[in-house]
Chains A and B, each alone.
Chain A
Amino acid sequence: MLIRTPSDILPSEITPQALYLRRREFLRQAAALGLAGTMLPASGSVFAQTAAPVTEPGKLAKLPGKPSPLSTTDKATPYKDVVTYNNYYEFGTDKAQPAQYAHKLKTRPWSVMVDGEVKNKKPIDIEDLLKLAPMEERIYRMRCVEGWSMVIPWVGYSMSELIKRVEPTAKAKYVAFATATQPETMIGLRLPVLEWPYVEGLRMDEAMHPLTLLGFGLYGEVLPNQNGAPVRLVVPWKYGFKSIKSIVRITFMESMPKTSWNVAASHEYGFYSNVNPAVDHPRWSQASERRIGEDGFFQPKRKTLLFNGYADQVAGLYSGMDLKKFF
């Protein structure tokens, strides 16, 4: 009997560890390629399943925040729904895809470049951002432009905390935000669905509003990748796409930034994109919404509220403005 000793294996025959560790990914990609030419619906691509999506609480690092008077008393949407029904086009346009693919996103090392019309131009490391101000739990309604809504217990602090510290110049009238682009982890970047990187923006007074949140967590834990880890924006009175995910750059500007959805279809997605039941999307109504996890088969959809129910706090930002014109 011939017993092979380890020396029988030529170094050239040994699969590099990096490749070995990627073998499953390779198989998945092969399967996905095989499927690409078929007419299966996106939900039927069972062969493209990936490992380790975060779909239940208790898997991620704790990130507690103290309760905030700005929180709504609406019932929070179940964690599973919050983390499996996402629009994060960098990981695919189907809402189930981010949960399947975003675990690849590299969230460390991570820094956010602050530049433009600001005194303290500098990259800020995520660990420093996490310590910049005390964490609060803010339970906010979130209304998607597609006509559904959730209630999410975010963890973070007001965007104004950061803005005050970096000291914008007198010229700063707007703030632009950009999402990371990681071509090696973000499968969605291969499709020219939107212009990458994803860019969003706010007027300075909107960005300074106490409701505007720099979010780092949800449900008392750090953000799952599909929800925009490690740091995102939450602007509860605007349609969800304004609340940009996985931020790597914050630029203070004198002129209105060009935002991704506005560039893609300016007649459908305005810069402001405030939730407004009286201003329809050109192709569908915005008068009502379905609350995920609550509004089921046997009750009608609920009425959408002006500024997503935050009119008392934010209507003043837009006094005298024609909301139909500045949609």
Chain B
Amino acid sequence: MAWQPRPGPLGWIKAGVFAACLVPMARLFHGAFTNSLGANPIEAITRSTGWWTLFLLAVTLAVTPVRKFTGANWLLRLRRMLGLFAFFYALAHFITFIWFDHWFDMGEIFKDVIKRPFVTVGFAAFVLLVPLAVTSNTAMVRKLGRNWQRLHRIAYAIAVLGVLHFWWLVKRDLTEPALFAVVVVVLLGMRLRHAPIPGRA
């Protein structure tokens, strides 16, 4: 039986993870106010918020397989927070796009979403994250019952769209998108192994 923290220590772990998840955002704010984000701060913010969205999506998706392999069931208690932080960075990324990149020019934003495949998939991923964030509270989990789990399987599609978004925007060096792609493929592949086989249930 894997180690399970008691409620007290679990609270401290949660607080620690919460603080850690805020560090990238704090660094961006610090960088923006001290003018130390480099020559193109808006690009730096766009890249950073996008990168951390993908990273947190991957961490969120890692909770279930890691739990199954190690028996550390308490990790499940962190998942909602991790998922919400993924949404938090996705929202920051989206705001950067509509504000700094397009200056709220709705016509241009619409054109970009329609015309640029990398924007289309990124936008789709963000839109799909919204219902997951909205239904993340305990009341909604209770209300939706089995449907909650079905709904939240959208997270797999979001991760794939997110990697595709990164892959298609890179000019030439695919190293980082490829690393994320491997991680997401592994995390989704692990689920296939554990998925119930139709007909045997």
Residue positions of A touching B, CB distance < 8 A? 39, 41-43, 80-81, 84-85, 89, 93, 95-96, 146, 148, 191, 193-194, 264-265, 280, 283-285, 290, 292-293, 296-297, 299-301
Contacts and interface: CB of A to CB of B under 8 A. Distances in A.
A299 B41 CA distance: 13
B137 interface: no
A192 to B, nearest CB: 10
A interface majority secondary structure: loop
B179 interface: yes
Interface of B: 32, 38-44, 47-48, 51, 55, 100-103, 105, 108, 111-112, 115-118, 168-169, 171-173, 175-176, 179, 183
A39 B55 contact: yes
Contact of A148 (B43, B47, B48, B169): B43
Closest 8 CB pairs of A and B: A85-B39, A300-B103, A81-B39, A93-B173, A292-B39, A41-B51, A193-B172, A193-B173
Contact of B40 (A39, A193, A284, A292): A292
A297 B39 contact: no
Given A41-B47, A41-B51, A148 B40 contact: yes
Contact of B116 (A85, A89, A193, A283): A283
27 contacts: A41-B48, A41-B51, A84-B39, A85-B38, A85-B39, A89-B173, A93-B173, A95-B39, A96-B38, A148-B43, A194-B172, A264-B172, A265-B172, A280-B115, A283-B117, A283-B118, A285-B111, A290-B40, A290-B42, A290-B43, A292-B39, A292-B40, A293-B39, A296-B42, A297-B41, A297-B42, A300-B102
Contacts of A95: 38-40
A93 B175 CA distance: 10
Contacts of B55: 39
A96 B31 CA distance: 15
Nearest to A295: B42
Nearest to A287: B108
A82 to B, nearest CB: 8
A283 B168 contact: yes
Given A39-B55, A43-B48, A283 B40 contact: no
Nearest to B173: A93
Contacts of B101: 301
Given A194-B172, A283-B168, A296 B41 contact: yes
